[in-house]
Amino acid sequence: MAVSACVVLVACGCGPEKAKGNADAKPSQSSASTPAKAPSGTPSASAATPMPSAPATGTQIAPKTKERAIQRYEQYLHGLGREDIGTVCEVAGPGAKKAEEQGFGPCTSTYVIVFQMITPEQKTALKTATVDPQRVTVRTLDKIEMPLEAVRSSATFTEEDLGSYTLEYLKNDYYITDGK
């Protein structure tokens, strides 16, 4: 069974409302966009323009932007690489819920199978994978397509390995709702 098929089917098991325990998780950022941290009490140039922190799911409204959708998808990819079921089910919750309604198990049990289908090399690559914004398709700011070709990593992935995904803006943030 292909990982992408399992991922889509697994994503149905837990939605944003079930992931409140993971609300403190910070989004993944590429190392190039991570600001340097100044020692406590010492002002710096980066302190004047802080990076926005990730909103806690359900408590704050995330920006409805292409950049935020990319950030959420990278968070999902990094979670796959770390086998972080909480992060994966948080971001893929609505899609996983659809799969569960079609007879697949809950997200938390289905992704255990998905994790086993990803090679160790691919897991390592996913931990630092990024998304090429030029390859992302914005249908509307409510629906953004993340094609496989947009994923940049040190490993090669096929549609059967990882696939392409649709992220939709629901409940004040972006969530994976469909995959191919």
The predicted-structure confidence for 35-82, as pLDDT tens digits, reads as follows: 333 333 333 333 333 333 444 445 689 999 999 999 999 999 999 999
Domains of the chain, residue spans: 3-28+56-179
Task: Judge whether 129 and 150 are in contact, CB under 8 Å.
Answer: no
Spatial contact of 100 and 8, defined as CB atoms under 8 Å apart:
no
DSSP 31-100: GGGPPPPPPTT---HHHHSPPPPPPPTTTSPPP-SHHHHHHHHHHHHHHHHHT-HHHHHHHSHHHHHHHH
Q: What is the pLDDT of residue 72?
A: 98
pTM: 0.69
CA–CA gap between residue 119 and residue 100 (Å, rounded): 25
What residue ranges of the chain have pLDDT lower than 70? 1-59
| 13 touches 105 (CB < 8 A) | yes
User: pLDDT averaged over the chain?
Assistant: 76
What is the H or E stretch that residue 121 is in?
Answer: helix 120-126
Q: Residue 155 is encoded by which pair of tokens?
A: 């490993």
